[in-house]
Chains A and B, each alone.
Chain A
Amino acid sequence: MLLKDEVQMLRRVPLFSGVEPGKLKLLAFTSDRVSYSVGETLFHQGDIGDAAYVVLDGKADILVESSTGPIKVAEVERNSIVGEIAILCDVSRTATVTATTGVEALRIRKDHFLKLLTDFPEITIQIMRVLADRLSHTTSELTEARSRVRQLE
């Protein structure tokens, strides 16, 4: 896959949809292109976060370790970003991501990613949106779960 195709794909990632193509090309160029086969992990829960991944193709599971074994909490599909929390908050990985099909991804290194955020506010705003979106999603799920718990009581 070539740089220009990657740019096309990046434009379809909601996070980057507002960013002008030239910047996306730079982002693509400075990132590593990596591929994973089925069952390989992108990163493990507890590792130190050194990069974020933009999934260009394929699917992966987000798994969280629990006392009863790993629980799948979400799925990553093409054109989505994963692993950005560990970079933004300087915490270790909060989940394990394992490829369920062959996965093509762009690996954006931590310092590049942070530089990108300071250089291009539009990306920052997009990131905020995505995170806020996820937060409201999580909040509504939590509310739902709580009300279910209450009903059970």
Chain B
Amino acid sequence: MEKSLTRYIWNHTRRQQIYILIVVLVSMIPYFMSFDLPKRIVNGPIQGDGFGEPGARQIFGAISLPIPGFGSVPIFGGLELTRMEMLYALSMVFLGLVVVNGLFKLYINTYKGRLGERLLRRIRYQLIDRILRFPPAQFKRMKGSEVSSMVKDEVEPLGGFTGDAFVQPVLLGGQALTALTFILLQNVWLGAIAAFMVGIQAVIIPRMRRRLLVLGRERQITARELAGRVGEIVDGIGTIHAYDTSNYERADIAHRLGRIFKIRYDLYQWKFMVKFINNFLAQLTPFLFYCIGGYLALKGSLDIGQLVAVISAYKDLPGPLKELIDWDQTRQDVQVKFVQVVEQFEAENMIDPALQALPAPVAAAGMAAAGIAAAGATAGLAKPPPAAMHKEASPEEEAEAMRESAGPLAAVNLTLSDDSGARLAERVSVEIQPGETVAIIGAAASGGDAVAEAFARLIWPESGRITLGGKDILELPESVVGRRITYAASDCFFFYGSLRDNLLYGLKHAPLAEAHYEGSLLAHRKWEINEARLAGNPHHDINSDWIDYSAAGATHADDLFASILTVLDAVQLSKDILDLALRTTIDPQSRPELAERIVEMRSALTGELEEAGLSGLVVPFEPGAYNPEATVGENLLFGTAIGPRMMPQALAKNTYFRQVIDQSGLDRILFDMGYQIAENAVELFADLPPDHPFFQQLTFMSADDIPLYQGLLQKLRGANGFERASETERGQMIRLSFQYIEPRHRFGLLTRELMDKIIAVRQTFHENMPEDMREEIERYDPERYLASATLMDNVLFGRISNKHADGQKRIRAIVSSLLNTMGLLEQVLDIGMDFNVGAGGKRLTIVQRQKLNLARAMIRRSDFYIFNRPLPGLDNRLQDEILRDVMKLVRGSGEHQAIIWVLSNLASASLFERVLVFDRGLLVEDGHHAELGRKNGVFKQLVAS
């Protein structure tokens, strides 16, 4: 990128700048005409110049073309108008000029604004493009939030400046020069004084502003660092809490803010000081005119008329001059910002853009047929090498051939070192043929993992190289390397979005099927393409289908699921996703068929449970029966609250609900019940300290409530406690009974009659409910899907019995197998795939993330799978199971696919055909597992230890 902003703007907007300058100059004509007009209106029709006698007429609007040396040639003779008509005509012209001037202004401003916005878009795009082409080592020194603050905030003022970059100085300079010339014409000496003062301003003010620029740069850097620190605090919040360093962070932030304040305040003070001096200098000139000019006039050596003319001409000078100086200030300011940002985006060994370009024949169809392996692993950002590529054959053709078949992957005399220069691996030479299975083993940091990272282009070789089919992978297009080689390690990154998007991320290399647009959408798309071109952005459509189905072993979106499921099963993630799905609430309107099948599933589940002899495991909700496993409140309400008035906290104050309860006499019964519950709870828990773990078991009360209820019990003891209780106290007691579940709490408070009574009250409650409240509750109906409940609750449509140990676990297993037999598993998993994984995938557990990371790699077909200890979060048994399944899956596809696995569990090495043993950065042994076992080498030692 250019080092100078002015040059950058000129290079990218030259034509537009000249065009707008011309427009501005043209707009000056009506502008100056409108200055002259008022005088003509006042002098002519109003004051009656030339309209001496009544009925006098004047010519209006005569146009003639002056031709030098020939006189003027009349083009239009004009109209003869009376005084009144002249007034109207001239006023109309004035109005017309006002409109024309306004329109010019509107057009110019819009044009300049658009110019600026396009340039801003271009700069931002170029900066991000550079990030995508940085060599991997660059990212070790960058803070994400600093970079994003640069791209987002620091370049923002550049856009605003663009429109004024050339127009403003020309225009203002012209105005200032005109005014100055005019003064000089009136009186050379006074003109010289004015010119001298302007000269002083032009020299002193920019000098004083240099300090402003220094301060501005500091302000920019400190603000950027602040952004970086804020980002660090967010990312490291776990560490901060763990070590109780929040106050250290506070101190650091306060210190930084203090510094920023100081810089900004300095800037502020200095700015106004400069302003003061500037104004002073501007006012000094008229002082000199009055003082010296007046003296000369009194002495008689200067004509008073001239002096007045000079003074009145002078008033047009400071305005443009001040604006010009301001413009210069902005220019320097944005120039500094620009340089500051561009410097940060300079890196050595940037990846050649040609290596990342979409391959030419990507044009959809060809791709699927060739079965191009897809790529884009976790190494999305890291890419090929320095510029200069030496190629004999046409690189296009070569790349095309590579896409068909890759050939062996080899490290040739490879030496790797870390940032500090320490050797990670030395002179490693190894060749891996397509179809081989290779285990890399060795103690931690013995070089094997570094070699795996180098295969994935995460570390670039210090010397030696890595070749694919004989070509250096850093010189091959990413469309080849990134798809032939798949890499997964333990440090996985996920993008904010659904689980599905993240799983299929590695398939999105190119827009394969263009999105289809119609009508206004088509027009918008065309506009998008056009604008992208004008701002130098690419116009790949994000709405196209980017998923390379053939790379996932599918033909189109419909049969992709089979591939997904195989992979999810292999990494043992499908159960997690099913659980996620079962905990989701879905809108039955958007999936009516699924909702219907889920309702059908309820009876199937009952049958299944009966068959397994577990019919008591789930107690279903039945409209005419009391569900003993649900709370009294749930039985009474018999539905899920949707609106605020039905929520448990608000229910006690709900007048209609209270009315139904009171009329049925249930209030007294529930009050007595609550009283007994309170009695039991106080008896059981009164002696325990509030933080005692037993309180977890007390679901209807917290430890803090105990003293309150102790008081209530004492007060309301004895007969007619209900009558003596206040409204709130009754509520407090009744609230307890709402939470009561007989089989769980076992206080023996629920009699047959009470249950019947509750059912009766439930019926009345629902039957007489006012219309507007009906929408706030979703009544339990065995034949309908409950929109407000989770999928699992909808399947169960009841409560899991407290009597069965492991009830939850068992029911889950039964439901999942039932979903499978009913053919619903796919749809339900699909819902689970919608789960948003959160920022960086943080809503998933570490184990789930590592499994998903492996699944994301597995789903794309490629020639070399490199797994660098991908599952450290799992125990050895699970790791081994998944490893076997993954190997089976890769081998089972029948193609020549190689696996290179850096093992953490040495016992698994026997599953591989070939074992590479690393020790202190050197490849020490290479051979078949059994063969190495017989030798008395490092391998044997490792296995033995």
Contact = CB atoms under 8 A, between A and B. Distances in A.
Interface of A: 1-4, 6, 22, 25-26, 28-30, 32-37, 42, 107, 111-112, 115
Given A1-B746, A4-B748, A36 B683 contact: no
B262 interface: no
Contacts of A35: 803-804
Residue from A3, A30, A32, A36 having most chain B Cβ neighbours under 10 A: A30
A2 B804 contact: no
B684 A33 contact: no
A91 to B, nearest CB: 18
Given A32-B805, A33-B744, A35-B804, 12 more contacts: A3-B745, A22-B684, A25-B684, A26-B685, A28-B746, A29-B746, A33-B802, A33-B803, A34-B803, A35-B803, A37-B613, A115-B693
B747 interface: yes
B361 to A, nearest CB: 58
Nearest to A40: B805
Contact of B748 (A2, A22, A37, A107): A2
Interface string B806-831: 00000000000000000000000000
Contacts of A32: 802, 805
Contacts of A1: 746
Contacts of A3: 680, 745-748
Nearest to B695: A30
Interface string B589-612: 000000000000000000000000
7 contacts: A6-B746, A26-B694, A29-B697, A30-B697, A34-B804, A36-B805, A42-B805
A29 B802 contact: no
The 10 A-B pairs at the shortest CB distance, nearest first, are namely: A2-B748, A3-B746, A34-B805, A30-B697, A30-B694, A35-B803, A26-B684, A2-B746, A115-B693, A111-B693
B840 to A, nearest CB: 32
Contacts of A4: 748
Contacts of A36: 805
Nearest to A34: B805
B525 to A, nearest CB: 59
B692 interface: yes
A42 B806 CA distance: 10
Nearest to B692: A115
Nearest to A1: B746
Contacts of B802: 32-33
B805 A107 contact: yes
- Of the four ranges (under 10, 10 to 19, 20 to 34, 35 or more), the interface on chain B belongs to 20 to 34
- Interface of A, secondary structure class, is helix
B877 to A, nearest CB: 13
Nearest to B748: A2
A29 B695 CA distance: 11
Interface string B679-710: 01001110010001110010000000000000
Contacts of A6: 746
A29 B743 CA distance: 11
Nearest to A42: B805
A25 B686 CA distance: 13
Contact of A22 (B613, B683, B694): B683
A112 B693 contact: yes
A118 to B, nearest CB: 11
Contacts of B693: 111-112, 115
A28 B684 CA distance: 10
Residue from B746, B747, B802, B803 having most chain A Cβ neighbours under 10 A: B746
Contacts of B747: 2-3
A2 B748 CA distance: 6
A96 B697 CA distance: 28
Given A4-B748, A25-B684, A115 B804 contact: no
Residue from B688, B694, B745, B805 having most chain A Cβ neighbours under 10 A: B805
Interface in B174-212: none
A36 B801 CA distance: 13
A4 B745 CA distance: 11
A47 B685 CA distance: 32
A50 B415 CA distance: 52
Contacts of B680: 3
B101 to A, nearest CB: 83
B685 to A, nearest CB: 8
B604 to A, nearest CB: 23
Contacts of B745: 3, 29
B190 to A, nearest CB: 97
A152 B685 CA distance: 60
A42 B745 CA distance: 22
B684 A29 contact: yes
A111 to B, nearest CB: 6
A8 B414 CA distance: 78
Contacts of B694: 26, 30, 112, 115
A146 B790 CA distance: 62
A17 B747 CA distance: 22
Residue from B613, B693, B694, B745 having most chain A Cβ neighbours under 10 A: B694
